[in-house]
Structure 1
Amino acid sequence: MGSTVTRTSRSSRASRSSRPSGSSRRSRGAGRPGYGQLLRTPGAWAFLLPGFAARQPFAMLTIGIVLLVQHTTGSYGTAGAVSAVTGVSMALFAPQSGKLSDRFGQGAVLLPGVIVHSASGTLLAVLALAHAPLWALLAVAVPTGASVPQVGPMVRARWAATLPAGSPLLQTAAAFESVTDEFTFVIGPVLATALATGVHPAAGLLSEAVLTLAGGLLFAAQRRTAPAPARTGAGGRERRASALTVPGVRVLAVAFLGIGAVFGGMQVSMTAFTEEIGRPGINGLLYGTFAAGNMLAGLACGAVAWKSGPKRRMLVGYTALTLATSMLWAAHAVPLLGGLGLLVGLTIAPALITGYTLVESLVPAGVRTEAFTWLTGAVALGQAAAATAAGRLADGIGASAGFTVPLVGTGLALVTLAALRERLVPRPSEVVAARGGGTGRGSGIGHREPVTVD
């Protein structure tokens, strides 16, 4: 009996020792691969580097226009109005660009787009320097905004085309793209401000046009990683509804309007504040501190394995953002404004990243590029409206009044989020992809295969 127990015990130990000791750890680690493994994906850098340059317009355009037009007209209100028209045009045309990219391919949309954007942005700079009337600036602002290339959503689609279907790296790619968006908001506004204040008032806007042209053409040239155009359904007719028909997408669009209000209100109000105190050169430093907080929080969010659901994270993160913006109007010293700007930046990234995570689960795979462009367009629209409002308030009352715009924007969006939070839960009928016979190459990051819903 004793020998039997001994043999059983030894057999059990031998069985345990014969298993690969690190297999479970490797299995768990394989589920959350890191950024390094993602960036070693063959062909990734070929579209990441030009894509990073081509997505700078989204971060540089508004501040470049504000700094140039304010310099030539002396009015923040006029500068805000021109940038607002640009943002509204971008918000209206961005989803259409996403639809066309899904249907005809990225190159067919990107090539004419970057050419038109670079030409119209350059013309806008020339007209501003020539002190052209406001109607002329507004007229050129329309094609400038409408032609902003939607490179962020295109890069997300390329990850799905490059990585194998079902790869755990798809989730890592989604986090990486959100971090890249945040990093863009660090580099773009600071670069545009430094060029406009240190080189020439038009240098920020002209550099944005050059980066768009060079980066966009190089990005479009990387055809090997481009997703194939979506195929049509039976009879050649599209069977996909717009992403905006999903209620959760509309709720998230309102939330992203509030985020855009933070960007637009902060840019104009910080510029007005540094002018008021006679130190315009520190505007880039202040905004850079705000954007650095945004990027650091983005890096942290992309690396954390969250246990709470995205809906809860969205509500908590947006509440923190609203509370952070509530103190901006009271900042009357540079160190205090810098600290509050850092705090606001730290709270923006969680809301942005969680919003993009939610929209991926809410829409069919075949319309995710369009869904992403609705959100980026909402940011642009909120940014434009906030720049206009903050500019008027800064002209009439002072920079402190302009800082109330981010609070109002995020406050209204938070009320909407809280009231309609149940729409952020995906319904089975909404996430089934009506693919129409297409493949999954360009359908988005981390999508699920379609299933039949009774």
Structure 2
Amino acid sequence: MFTVHQSTDSFAVAGTAVAAFGLASLSMPLKARLVDRYSQRRVLPPLAVLCASGLALVAFASTTNAVLLVIVVGVAGLFAPPLGPSMRATWRLVTGETDLKQRAYALDAICEESLYLGGPLIAGLLISFWSAPVALGCAAVLMVGGTFGMVATPLARHVAEQRVEGRFMDPGPLRIAGLRRILVVILFVAAGTSVAYVCVAGVAQDQDRAGAAGFVEAAIGLGSVVGGLTWARRTHTRSHWHHLAGLIGLLAVGLLAASLATNLIVLGVVMAVAGLAVAPLFVVSYLAADDLTPAHQRTEASTWINTANNLGSSAGASLAGVAIDRTAPSHGFLAAGVLLAVLALVLALVSSGLRGPSPSSRRSRCSP
């Protein structure tokens, strides 16, 4: 975002570039099928190299052409490797249908949120002491190194032996109505959360402290890690739909409070509290998707959750970028909070009528 903004001096273009990267995630389920058919080792490394090359081009090419920058970012997103779904396939292989799977998914979400904790801190330091392009170049290097490290593990070799037969363009788990409902929920949650991230950047930019945005985002990651650790240790008896309603409600309250914060430190504290809901939201979504889909479609179902998240994030980033160019970031926080509050209320009202998986019926997955 800051690299494109630095080149074009427009948050609208920067938000559109982020949106282009996220929209390219529509290819993620197909890439996941390629991983299932040809193994993590054969598919993930070339994808990572191509994606990193696109990010490096954006970082170090001396161009101010907004259209070209958005296109290159979108192409880079097209090749982004599906690391999360591949990792969760490995977790399922290790834990099976035991009570360890919820903890494994929580660990997965916590690790990912820890990246959002450490990544923004590193990015903030690099932006403060060097520049946004240097931070983006570091992201490209870390993507390649991490991917090659992942596929070098024995577990990745074991997953590589699995094969999926059938038509490549088959809709697969999207046929399941319950999964489609979860995807709609994740889509709206991601849109609201993405608006918040862009608004954090807008507040920092308005105060001439762009690097501070990384520290506020790290606070969200810290809250998410704490929330994930706490969630994994609890025994849950309510349905996944009730859990989603409560967690989204907590996130909505945090965003509404953020609309009133003008000090970056206060904003960081408020967003850290809101972040408590983030990791548990994904744990609940992954478990619900597993319960709704047959075993041979669970990797792809997990990928669709990531895809819905990316699409929602893209829409939110694009809208927020345009809005910040025309109004105050606080209005973006307010709009996102209202959106999520309405979503939480709707889920709470209709959850009793939704047929779906409940942790109480699958206690072996949710016991501490």
- Which of these residues, 71, 82, 93, is aligned with residue 6 of structure 2? 71
User: 3-state DSSP class of the match of 1:280?
Assistant: coil
Partner of 2:16: 81
Letter of the structure 2 residue corresponding to residue 117 of structure 1: C
TM-score by length of 1: 0.72
Q: Following the alignment from structure 1 to structure 2, what is the Cα–Cα distance between the partners of residues 423 and 342?
A: 31
Q: Following the alignment from structure 1 to structure 2, what is the Cα–Cα distance between the partners of residues 404 and 304?
A: 32
Q: Following the alignment from structure 2 to structure 1, what is the Cα–Cα distance between the partners of residues 22 and 201?
A: 19
Partner of 1:58: none
Contact 1:249/1:362 (<8 A) preserved: yes
State the 1:405 CA deviation: 4.4
- Which of these residues, 74, 77, 82, is aligned with residue 150 of structure 1? 82
Equivalence map 1:238-317=2 (5 Å): 242-317=172-247
Letter of the structure 1 residue corresponding to residue 146 of structure 2: G
Q: Alignment RMSD, CA only?
A: 2.6
Letter of the structure 2 residue corresponding to residue 86 of structure 1: F
- Which of these residues, 281, 296, 304, is aligned with residue 366 of structure 1? 296
Partner of 1:160: 92
Equivalence map 1:407-446=2 (5 Å): 407-411=337-341, 413-414=343-344, 417-418=347-348, 421=351, 422-423=353-354, 425-426=356-357
State the 1:275 CA deviation: 2.0
CA gap 1:205/1:306 in 2 versus in 1, 3 angstroms: same
State the 1:348 CA deviation: 2.3
Equivalence map 1:85-104=2 (5 Å): 85-90=20-25, 92-104=26-38
> May I ask how many residue pairs the two structures share in their alignment?
357
Q: Following the alignment from structure 1 to structure 2, what is the Cα–Cα distance between the partners of residues 237 and 390?
A: 39
State the 1:360 CA deviation: 1.3
Q: Following the alignment from structure 1 to structure 2, what is the Cα–Cα distance between the partners of residues 231 and 383?
A: 30
Partner of 2:109: 178
Q: Following the alignment from structure 2 to structure 1, what is the Cα–Cα distance between the partners of residues 168 and 53?
A: 33
Letter of the structure 2 residue corresponding to residue 105 of structure 1: S
Higher helix share: 2
State the 1:237 CA deviation: 6.4
- Which of these residues, 343, 352, 360, is aligned with residue 273 of structure 2? 343
Q: Following the alignment from structure 1 to structure 2, what is the Cα–Cα distance between the partners of residues 380 and 328?
A: 23
Q: Following the alignment from structure 1 to structure 2, what is the Cα–Cα distance between the partners of residues 317 and 281?
A: 29
Partner of 2:257: 327
Letter of the structure 2 residue corresponding to residue 140 of structure 1: V
Q: Which runs of 5+ in 2 are unaligned?
A: 359-364
Q: Following the alignment from structure 1 to structure 2, what is the Cα–Cα distance between the partners of residues 95 and 247?
A: 18
Partner of 1:25: none
Q: Following the alignment from structure 2 to structure 1, what is the Cα–Cα distance between the partners of residues 330 and 97?
A: 50
CA gap 1:231/1:410 in 2 versus in 1, 3 angstroms: same
Letter of the structure 2 residue corresponding to residue 72 of structure 1: S
Letter of the structure 1 residue corresponding to residue 209 of structure 2: R
Contact 2:204/2:212 (<8 A) preserved: yes
1:138 aligns with 2:70: yes
Partner of 1:195: 126
* TM-superposition CA deviations, 1:121-178 (whole Å, max 9, x none): 1112233xx1331121122122211111111111121133345x55543443223212
User: 3-state DSSP class of the match of 2:276?
Assistant: helix
Contact 1:327/1:340 (<8 A) preserved: yes
- Which of these residues, 19, 33, 48, is aligned with residue 114 of structure 1? 48
Partner of 2:139: 208
Letter of the structure 2 residue corresponding to residue 216 of structure 1: T
Q: Following the alignment from structure 2 to structure 1, what is the Cα–Cα distance between the partners of residues 217 and 258?
A: 13
Q: Following the alignment from structure 1 to structure 2, what is the Cα–Cα distance between the partners of residues 172 and 198?
A: 38
Q: Which runs of 5+ in 1 are unaligned?
A: 1-65, 428-445, 447-454
User: 3-state DSSP class of the match of 1:327?
Assistant: helix
1:357 aligns with 2:291: no
Partner of 2:362: none
* TM-superposition CA deviations, 1:281-339 (whole Å, max 9, x none): 42222222222111111111112222333232122222222232222222222343223
Q: Following the alignment from structure 2 to structure 1, what is the Cα–Cα distance between the partners of residues 102 and 330?
A: 41
Letter of the structure 2 residue corresponding to residue 209 of structure 1: A
CA gap 1:257/1:188 in 2 versus in 1, 3 angstroms: farther
User: 3-state DSSP class of the match of 2:81?
Assistant: coil
Q: Following the alignment from structure 1 to structure 2, what is the Cα–Cα distance between the partners of residues 346 and 230?
A: 37
Contact 1:272/1:394 (<8 A) preserved: yes
State the 1:369 CA deviation: 1.0
* TM-superposition CA deviations, 1:188-235 (whole Å, max 9, x none): 233223322322220221111111111112222335543123253xxx
